[in-house]
Structure 1
Amino acid sequence: MDKLPVIIFGAGGLGAAALDAFQSNGVVVYGFLDEEEELHGTEINYVSVLGNPDDDGFLKLIGKKCAAFVASDDNDYRESIVEMLNDRRKVMPSNAVHAQSMIAATAEIGHGNFVHMGAVVNSQAVLGNHCLIQPNAVVNYKAQLGDFVQVGAGSNIGASVQIGERAFIGSGVTVVSGVKIGKNARIGAGSVVIKDVAEGETVFGNPAQVVK
């Protein structure tokens, strides 16, 4: 995780959690940028919401004097901010990895990922870019997650599981070893996934079944 000061895009609950992750590592958060004007001038744990995400007065700092992180669980919004940062600042968002999470030395992590308190990313696991790994989730040995994957609190992703980009895994889900989950698939909270899930499918239950 970068040690540069950070500007966080998004001042909601995920933004507050990202602030905690950065501060747990001694990283200074310069401030928040958020589209909601009523939040401008307010503070989260003494860190100010400075203005809008497209304000050049703040954007010009990114890549030179500070890094950026996108704190939103809306993949379309996150992708638009990432594209803006790529185009206008030629940077990728930094990772927010809480000091009380655990990432194996042999794991691989891309850019812009959020690994919450208590989460574990085990040996030789691979996270793409812009994934959200919620508190106490476990990504086991050799599991592979594509870009913009979300894994809910307390979920357990088995060894060698493959999860396609933009898939959503709800809270408390168990995905058994070796299962493949397709792009844009959705797994309902508390489900136990024992077989492959096709691209775009929604499944729920124990064992998980396709929701029509």
Structure 2
Amino acid sequence: MENPVIIFGAKGIAHPALEIFNSNQVVVYGFLDEDEKLHGTEINTVGVLGNPEDDGFLKLIGKKTEAFVAVDDPKYRKFLVKLLNERRKVQPINAIHGTAFISTDAVLGHGNFINARVNIGAGAEVGSHCIIHSGAIVDHKVKVADFVQIGAGSVINSEAEVGEGAFIGSGVTIISGVKIGKNARVGAGSVVIADVKDGETVFGNPAAPVKS
């Protein structure tokens, strides 16, 4: 990649995203964050320049720089992606750690964060704007929709499906063929052996719905 990157967000996954780009010899121009207290500060010598909605910085996107959205909160992540799509007509780029393994026939969308030692298997499909933390395994023919977050060390076994906006905690095991619904949440360490409904929260071994 020839152009430098502006990272949207300066908290959460922003620092590891910087490390990913550095390790891939991609220059990070700076960070943009809505928190004014962070403006003028640095993360590993790279400055937090201003607000993500500042036209002075936005006009650089797609011409002189690329964009990556490093925001954990799915609603704000969607807002920033829409901002880039509509005002700059661009898609955020992927941030893929050099130690991640991605099968040659796996399919990836845009704007994904894929950290160290992630394994994405043959024929797997990962949508756009997903966050996949260190050591997670997305096995062969798994389908992961957009805006999904998968915690460190989780294992999603073959042919499972994860719906849009779902949150999978750290150390989760999802059994082959299980379907996780849209915006569902799976608590850390859970073993999921049955389908999870849209918007449902499950936890435990075996995972069971959490009563609100």
Q: Same fold (TM over 0.5)?
A: yes
Aligned amino acid, residue 201 of structure 1: E
Structure 2 CA distance for aligned equivalents of residues 185 and 141 of structure 1: 22
For residue 4 of structure 1, report the CA deviation from its aligned partner. Answer: 2.2
CA deviations 1:107-150 (Å, max 9, x no partner) are 10000100001111111110001000001001000000000000
Q: TM-score, normalised by structure 2?
A: 0.98
Aligned amino acid, residue 54 of structure 1: E
Q: TM-score, normalised by structure 1?
A: 0.98
For residue 190 of structure 1, report the CA deviation from its aligned partner. Answer: 0.1
Could you tell me which residue of structure 2 aligns to residue 24 of structure 1?
A: 23
User: Is it true that 1:160 corresponds to 2:126 in the alignment?
Assistant: no
Coordinate RMSD, CA, aligned: 0.8
Could you tell me which residue of structure 2 aligns to residue 57 of structure 1?
A: 56
> SS of 2:13's equivalent?
helix
Structure 2 CA distance for aligned equivalents of residues 150 and 30 of structure 1: 26
Could you tell me which residue of structure 2 aligns to residue 203 of structure 1?
A: 202
CA deviations 1:23-50 (Å, max 9, x no partner) are 1111100000001111111111111101
User: Is it true that 1:77 corresponds to 2:107 in the alignment?
Assistant: no
Could you tell me which residue of structure 2 aligns to residue 7 of structure 1?
A: 6
Structure 2 CA distance for aligned equivalents of residues 208 and 3 of structure 1: 46
Structure 2 CA distance for aligned equivalents of residues 53 and 109 of structure 1: 25
Structure 1 CA distance for aligned equivalents of residues 176 and 55 of structure 2: 46
Q: 1:3 to 1:98 in 2, by over 3 A?
A: farther
Aligned amino acid, residue 105 of structure 2: T
Could you tell me which residue of structure 2 aligns to residue 109 of structure 1?
A: 108
In the TM superposition, 1:112-191 aligns within 5 A as: 112-191=111-190
Aligned amino acid, residue 117 of structure 2: G
Contact map agreement 2:173 2:191 (CA 8 A) in 1? yes
> Any stretches of 5+ residues in structure 2 without a counterpart?
none
Structure 1 CA distance for aligned equivalents of residues 12 and 193 of structure 2: 32
Contact map agreement 2:12 2:72 (CA 8 A) in 1? no
For residue 13 of structure 1, report the CA deviation from its aligned partner. Answer: 2.9
CA deviations 1:84-112 (Å, max 9, x no partner) are 10111000100000111111111100001
> Any stretches of 5+ residues in structure 1 without a counterpart?
none
Identity of aligned residues (%): 62
For residue 56 of structure 1, report the CA deviation from its aligned partner. Answer: 1.0
Aligned amino acid, residue 141 of structure 1: H
CA deviations 1:184-204 (Å, max 9, x no partner) are 110000000011111111110
> SS of 1:13's equivalent?
coil
Misfit runs of 4+, over 2 Å:
none
For residue 175 of structure 1, report the CA deviation from its aligned partner. Answer: 0.2
For residue 3 of structure 1, report the CA deviation from its aligned partner. Answer: 4.3
Aligned amino acid, residue 166 of structure 2: A
